[in-house]
Amino acid sequence: MTTSGRPAIPEPRRDERQIMDAFVARQPIFDRHKKIHAYELLFRDGMANFCPEVDGDRASCNLLANTFLNIGIDELTGGRLAFVNFTRELLVRRIPTLFPRENIVVEIIEDVQPEPDLITACREQVDKGYQLALDDFVYAQGMDALLHLAAIVKIDFLDTPAAEIPALAEALSGFDVKLLAEKVETHEAFGIARDMGFAYFQGYFFSKPEIVRGRDIAPGRVQLLQVIAEISRRDCSLDRVETLVKTDVSLSYKLLRYINSAFFRRAREITSIKHAIALLGLRETRKFIAMIATGALAAGKPNELIRTSIIRAKFCESVGRHFIPAAEASELFLIGLFSLMDAILDCPMRAAIDDLPLSATIREALLAETGAAGQLLHLIRCYEHGRWKDCEDISNAYRFDAAILPAEYRRAVGWAEHFQFD
């Protein structure tokens, strides 16, 4: 009891505070133009329980609570649709109708059977405006009833034999459904799926470089790489940075817009580019230019690729202070920012960074994930993919408290939201 006579509210344990802090994973879903159409949201249970063995009902309920009540759907999806897995029990209980139909796609997991009570529940949800998606679809007897209700059918490109996919797509053409290719890992697989008429694509195909032999980098890209090379130098001066910015209208405009944003609280009116750089600081200005140049290099690529680079950069910098106390923050930032440069330039990483004056630390981390900085990058990648056991193993090896990862990741995501590359 407290002195006021009211019962004391127990302080939550640290693991209870952390679970909802960020353990909702997401994977982007692209359209035929490589634009993000939606995200699939995935249940995660925290660092200590990296592979949660819980029943599907609990997983979906926790995911929904985390998404809508603890984190916020808009923060997770940016206004795009969220694909959420639902079990038979949750569907029959009409749980999807508790959430706005504008926000979610009701994804029916593969082990759900088309029983009469399930079909009735699904029909009611469709009548109310909800979209249904069939996950890991395998055509079987009795599935027609669900196919007549579904808006999207997902086909696993890794587990489904390649020779069977065209026939399956042809069989589904008689239904009013759009096809989604999931676990698309290469540009080649993306092209095959697109040629077969698939409307949506899920997987890491955008981050797997398509190697084109004998392809030159266009002049515009050469200039951008020169900019990146200059600001990557440890001895880069304020004067040289000012020159880079002043001679590029886009850089000047975006720098001033950034400083004028609510995120950066300026003390007074900006009178010059040099003034803007002085207020922001040389280190932060160099980081900003690197991001803008990287975004420009990635023109024509999915925006999520650029956004991931920026999040990684900030995440690496923030986590690196705890992971590698003696490391330079600017180096850690560039490691994260350049970690997708091979995908941006459609070439191997070695070729992408060959002409950049990068330190040995950055180069080794990007090329081989060696050394402490390389392991930091590996940790970041494992966290993005929800590989909690790997995160735990790396953290233990470096005597690093993995409990800070969720909060640091959320801060990195929030920071990255202030940069637009449309």
Decide if 144 is inside a domain: yes
How high is the mean pLDDT in each 10-residue block of the chain (422 residues)?
A: 38 36 70 87 56 59 68 76 88 85 90 89 94 88 89 91 90 93 84 92 61 38 64 73 67 66 53 73 76 66 74 87 72 82 78 73 87 89 83 86 85 73 46
* Host domain of residue 388: 219-416
The pLDDT, as a whole number, for residue 198 is 95
* Final residue belonging to a domain, choices 182, 207, 232: 207
One domain for residues 110 and 190: yes
Decide if 10 is inside a domain: no
* Final residue belonging to a domain, choices 207, 233, 255: 207
Predicted TM-score (pTM) of the model is 0.53
One domain for residues 114 and 225: no
From the list 52, 63, 71, 73, the residue with the least C-alpha distance to 95 is 63
One domain for residues 266 and 408: yes
Token pair of 164, please?
A: 């069977």
The pLDDT, as a whole number, for residue 288 is 76
Decide if 18 is inside a domain: no
The pLDDT, as a whole number, for residue 118 is 92
The pLDDT, as a whole number, for residue 421 is 46
Instruction: Tell me how far CA of residue 198 lies from CA of 281, 305, 358, 364, in angstroms.
Output: 48, 21, 41, 39
Residues 6+ apart with CB under 8 A from 412: 311, 312, 314, 315, 318
Count other C-beta atoms under 10 Å from residue 247's C-beta.
Answer: 10
What does residue 182 show for φ and ψ, rounded to 5 degrees? -110, 160
The pLDDT, as a whole number, for residue 372 is 86
Decide if 105 is inside a domain: yes
* Final residue belonging to a domain, choices 160, 184, 207: 207
DSSP H stretches of helix in 23-72: 56-65
Count other C-beta atoms under 10 Å from residue 411's C-beta.
Answer: 14
The pLDDT, as a whole number, for residue 322 is 81
Residue 45: give its domain's CATH number: 3.20.20.450
One domain for residues 318 and 375: yes
Which residue is listed with tokens 């993005």?
Answer: 384
